[in-house]
Each structure stands twice: as C-alpha cells, then as structure tokens.
Amino acid sequence: MTEPMIQIRNLQKSYGKRKILKGIDLDIYPKETLVILGRSGCGKSTLLRHLIGLNTPDEGNIIIKGVDITTASEEERNVILKRMGMLFQNGALFNSMTVGENVALPLMEHTPQDNSIIKIMTRMKLNLVGLSGFEDFAPSQLSGGMKKRAALARAIAMDPDILFCDEPSAGLDPIVAVGIDHLILKLKSALKMTIIVVTHEMASVNLIADRICLLHDGEIKFLGTKEEMRASVDPYVVQFLERQPDEDQLDPQNYLDELVAD
Amino acid sequence: MSNLKATFGQSGRDLAMFFVHVARMTKLTGQSLFWTFAAPFKGKKLRWGATFVQMVRIGVESVPIVGVISFCVGLIIAMQAAYQLAQFGATIYVADLVSVTMCRELGPLITAILVAGRSGSAIAAEIGTMKVSEEIDALQTMALNPIGFLVVPRMLAMMVVVPCLTILADFIGITGGFVLALTNLKLSFVAYFNETAEALYAKDFITGLIKSFFFAIIISQVGAYQGFNVRGGAEGVGKSTTTSVVVSIFLVIFADLLFTMLFFSTL
C-alpha cells in the first residue's frame, strides 16, 4: 500500500456548544479522487476548511505529505499550500482583476518567471479549462459555469499535487454541471492530481469518485467505493442513496416546552 | 429584576466586546506594521504596483475635494477672526490665526476626516466584499497573506498621501485667508504675507504633518479591521463601512487630542 497523501487523525471542532466534527480519521491516497459526501450542515465544508488550513482544529492532526499542518509554522504551511489548489464554491475570483490576472497571480507571486512566460502559462491553463481568449474579461462578465472554469484554471495554475473542490456543481444547470465534472476528470488524467471533492450531488459522485466518504453529524458514516456504497445496508447510507426524507419526530410535549422555554 | 439583569448584562457584554475589538485592532496594526517595515527584510516583497494604484485612488483623486473644503475653511476662520479682531482694529492678526490654525490643527484634521469618509470607507467595503465572496480565503489558500497583500499597500499609500494632502490643505486654507484679507479687509498682500511668515514656525507645520501621518495609520487600520470583520452578506458590508467612518473619525479626533496635549506641553 502506498503512503497516504493526507492523514487525518481524530479531528475535532466545535463552534460554541455545537460539535461539528466529532473525531474524523481518514487517509487519502495519492492520485485518487475522494468525494466527501453529506447533507447540508454535516460538517463537510468545515472538514474541507481544515484541510486547506483556513480553520484550526480543537483537537487532532492533519498530516499532508508528512507535515502536520495544524502545528506547522507559517513558512512550512505555505510550502504545502503552494502545492495545493482550491476551487471555491462560488469561484472566489478576484473581482478587481481580469480572468488572466487571476490565473497569473499565484505564478507571479510564487515563481521567479518573467511576465512573458507567465502569460504563456496563463494561456495554457485557460486553454485547458476551455476558456482560451477570455484573459481580458472581468469575472463579472462571465457566466456561472465559466467562473467555475476560470477558478479551476487558477487552482491548477501552480500544477498542484492536491486539488480541493467545494461543491463544484452547486448553482449550475445540469448540463454545465456535468461539464465541470468531466473537466475535473480530464484534469485528473492530465495532471495526475489527488482530488478531494465536497458535494451532495449523487450524479457527480457517480461520475468522478474513486472512493466516497459519507459524513453524517460530524462522523464518518461510510467509507469505500461506489460499488461498496450501493451494496451497503446501513440505514443512513440507504436513506441517502434513495433520497428518503427524515421521518418527522415531533413530540408535542417537547415542542411546547421549546416554545415556552426562556 | 430580570430587566435590570438584562440591561447590565448587555452593557457588560458590550464593554467586554469593546476591549476585544481594541485588542484585535492593535494586533492587526502590529501585523500591518510588521509586514510593511520588517517583512521586506525577510525577502517578502512589498507590492509597489498596488501601492501606487492606491496612492492615486486615495491621494490624487481627493485633491479637488480637499482643495475646495480647505479653501472654504480658511475663508471661514478668516471671517470669524476678522469679526472679533476688527473691534480692536487688529485685522492684520487674521493672518496669524488662519495660518497657525490651519497648519497645527485644521489642515490635518480636515484632510483626515475627508480621507476617512472617502477612502477609509472604501477600504472597509472592498475588503468586506472580498471576505463575503471568499476572496480572502482564496488568498490564504494561495499562501498569500491578506495583510501583506491587501492592507499594506493601502496603509503605505495613506502614509504617503495623507501628509501630502495635508500640506495642500494647509496652503489652500491659508490662501482662503489671503482672499478675505485682500478683498474684504483691504490689507496689502505684502503686509499679510509678512505677517503669515512671521507667525508660522516650522514646528507648527511639522507637528501637523506628524499628526497626519498617524491619522493615516488609524484610518487605514480601522477600514481594514472593519472589512475583515464583516459578517453576513451585503448588509454586513454596509454596516462595516458605516462603522469604519464613525470609528475612524472618533479615533482621529481622540488621537488629535492626545497629540495636541503632547505638543502643547512640550513644544
């Protein structure tokens, strides 16, 4: 078995009294596509924010390529961050810059190349996501799907080893969404990256996932391949796959108590 | 009883939050100063291009408004002074009053208030919008420090242009006094000029500039802090923008008081 790219050990996080992550243990291997699946509020975005170093856990460790990013110094963490790309849910393109400047920014800041080479690299990345010729457009002039593509181009600008995607198909029509999924597949085979995708769309899971990690209530409910997931008899997995609603558990007395509680 | 408790509880929380804000803003200012003056020696480059853009936006573009307002203020002080001094036939001392007041006090203060309203709020809105649209997070995942990337160019630009605008305000304010002296008070140009030159000492001018330099730090830091502090969407941005103007003007006047006390007792 190869050494895991990312090791998550006993990751815990609370906001106030609410415990969002209740001790996550997870290994992510090189060149696999892991989909973190779960309903809204299950902690999947929080988990992702920990992985990219935006949040620090209350307890537990995240070891990426042998470096524990929860305890690493800023310099050590920056070295790891430069080898990672992140596609935000709404793209998070810098609105004050053009599409080309957005893609060029990490290259300008972190590589010693001069402008003409960066220009060519920017063009290559935009070409890869199907946006050649859009360098001089402002992000606000792009459609939702094109913004995601541009953001993806920026995320892969530094040829990262690991790509994180937060809800890549959220807010897109099904045709554009499947286009983004295919693009992720294409990038995966072209750039040989480890890809971690957070989503709740089963359609895109079926297309891109090598392994699936189903989160529920801050815990891993299921971890395995698509086939294993379909074969699972765990009631929550079945409920998720078959899109069954929660049963209403309304206790009238509790409800009354809640209403009059001070 | 519970009302009483609620009232005191709320004011207690507000007071505690006040100190939290003070501590956090002090920390942000410390980090900004570090990224401006210490980090460049550790191989982190300053973003001169962005700084220059901000200098144009904060400085050059506020020249007209600073000019007009300080001219008006200079004229106003001259008239108010003349109203009193005319009783003693001492209208020539309008020159002293206008020039000293403009350089020591009103030049720096008016400039700071205008810049807080024009550019401090813009910093808060810009950074706040970036925060809401996850652009700040994106910077961090690219291993770019938001303070070095966003705050330092704005602070550096303000440190340069606010004193420059203050010099401009000083001169135009004094010109306002000149205009009244020549037209209404019938004083000669040479007499008024000589009186002004005699009344003004270098220290009057310099203490004003020292003040304006610190006002620049206050305004940029309050703007940035309010921007980073935005919670919620567009409404949060609006709130922070308003707060940034109120807080900067308050802090500017408070700092002005401290500096004036210091200069009053020592210089």
Domain ranges across chain B: 47-266
Strand order in A18-28's β-sheet? A18-28, A6-15, A59-64, A67-68
Find the mean pLDDT for residues A30-44: 87
C-alpha distance from B110 to closest chain A C-alpha (Å): 30
Which tokens in the block code for residue B19?
């100190």
Instruction: Check A94 against B135: CB less than 8 A apart.
Output: yes
Please state, in angstroms and rounded to a whole number, the distance separating the CA atoms of residues B173 and B54. 25
Please, what is the average pLDDT of chain B? Answer: 92
The pLDDT of residue A230 is 86
The beta strand positions in chain B, using DSSP E, are: none
The pLDDT of residue A122 is 93
Interface check for B138 against chain A (CB to CB < 8 A): the answer is: yes
Please list the alpha-helical segments (H only) found in A11-143: 44-51, 74-82, 99-110, 115-128
Q: Which of A65, A78, A127, A134 is nearest to A106 (CA)?
A: A78
Pairing type for strands A194-199 and A162-166 reads parallel
| ipTM over 0.90 threshold | no
Find the mean pLDDT for residues B242-261: 95
Instruction: Check A92 against B144: CB less than 8 A apart.
Output: no
Cα B82 to the center of its chain, rounded Å: 29
Per the rule left: phi > 0, alpha: psi between -120 and 50, beta: everything else, A249 is beta
Report the residue of chain B nearest A92, measured CA to CA: B135
Phi and psi, residue B142, nearest 5°: -90, 10
| Alpha-carbon distance values, B171 to A198, B118, B193 (Å) | 60, 21, 12
The pLDDT of residue B213 is 96
Phi and psi, residue A94, nearest 5°: -75, 115
Q: Residue A102 contacts by C-beta under 8 Å, 6 or more apart in sequence?
A: A93, A94, A139, A150, A151, A154
| Alpha-carbon distance values, A21 to A25, A60, A211, A214, B1 (Å) | 11, 10, 20, 13, 40
Report the residue of chain A nearest B2, measured CA to CA: A262
Tell me how many residue pairs between chain A and chain B have CB atoms under 8 A apart: 47
Question: Could you say which DSSP state residue B46 is in?
Answer: P
pTM of the model: 0.87
CB A25 within 8 A of CB A9: yes
CB B224 within 8 A of CB B130: no
> DSSP secondary structure string, B11-42?
HHHHHHHHHHHHHHHHHHHHHHHIIIIIGGGG
C-alpha distance from A50 to closest chain B C-alpha (Å): 11
CB B40 within 8 A of CB B142: no
Q: Is the per-residue pLDDT at A189 higher than 70?
A: yes
Please state, in angstroms and rounded to a whole number, the distance separating the CA atoms of residues A213 and A205. 11
Tokens 């330092």 map to which residue? B152
Please state, in angstroms and rounded to a whole number, the distance separating the CA atoms of residues A193 and A162. 5
Q: Which of A194, A199, A233 is nearest to A30 (CA)?
A: A194
Report the residue of chain A nearest B44, measured CA to CA: A109
Confidence of residue A111 (pLDDT cuts 50, 70, 90): confident
Find the mean pLDDT for residues A86-111: 91
Please state, in angstroms and rounded to a whole number, the distance separating the CA atoms of residues B62 and B216. 14
Interface check for B3 against chain A (CB to CB < 8 A): the answer is: no
Percent of chain A whose predicted confidence (pLDDT) is above 70: 98
Confidence of residue A109 (pLDDT cuts 50, 70, 90): confident
Pairing type for strands A33-37 and A211-216 reads parallel
Q: Is the per-residue pLDDT at B246 higher than 90?
A: yes
Q: Side-chain half-sphere of B134: how many Cα atoms within 13 Å?
A: 15
Q: Which of A82, A94, A249 is nearest to A159 (CA)?
A: A82
CB A15 within 8 A of CB A43: no
Interface check for B134 against chain A (CB to CB < 8 A): the answer is: yes
In chain A, which residues have their Cβ closer than 8 Å to the Cβ of B46?
A: none
Find the mean pLDDT for residues A37-56: 87
CB B70 within 8 A of CB B123: no
In chain A, which residues have their Cβ closer than 8 Å to the Cβ of B134?
A: 88-90, 92
- CB count within 10 Å of CB B84 equals 13
Question: Which of A80, A105, A163, A164 to probe the B interface (max B CBs under 10 A)?
Answer: A105
Please state, in angstroms and rounded to a whole number, the distance separating the CA atoms of residues B69 and A13. 53
Identity of the amino acid at B2 = S
Percent of chain A whose predicted confidence (pLDDT) is above 90: 35
**Which stretch of A248-252, B102-106, B143-147, B159-163 has the lowest confidence by average pLDDT?**
A248-252
- CB count within 10 Å of CB A21 equals 26
CB A38 within 8 A of CB A214: yes
Question: Could you say which DSSP state residue A58 is in?
Answer: S
In chain B, which residues have their Cβ closer than 8 Å to the Cβ of A109?
A: 142, 144
Closest CB from A84, A92, A110 relative to B134: A92
Give residue-wise pLDDT tens across range A3-22: 888 999 998 988 888 888 88
- CB count within 10 Å of CB A90 equals 17
Please state, in angstroms and rounded to a whole number, the distance separating the CA atoms of residues B158 and A195. 43
Q: Which of A128, A201, A214, A211 is nearest to A169 (CA)?
A: A201
**Which stretch of A185-199, A241-255, B30-44 has the lowest confidence by average pLDDT?**
A241-255
**Which stretch of A57-61, A103-107, A172-176, B167-171 has the lowest confidence by average pLDDT?**
A172-176
Which tokens in the block code for residue A121?
């690299």
Please state, in angstroms and rounded to a whole number, the distance separating the CA atoms of residues A246 and B133. 32
Q: Which of A119, A124, A111, A106 is nearest to A190 (CA)?
A: A124
Report the residue of chain A nearest B137, measured CA to CA: A54
The pLDDT of residue A248 is 65
Q: Which of A232, A145, A220, A161 is nearest to A196 (CA)?
A: A161
Please state, in angstroms and rounded to a whole number, the distance separating the CA atoms of residues B209 and B164. 9
Which tokens in the block code for residue B227?
């921007």
In chain B, which residues have their Cβ closer than 8 Å to the Cβ of A93?
A: 135, 138
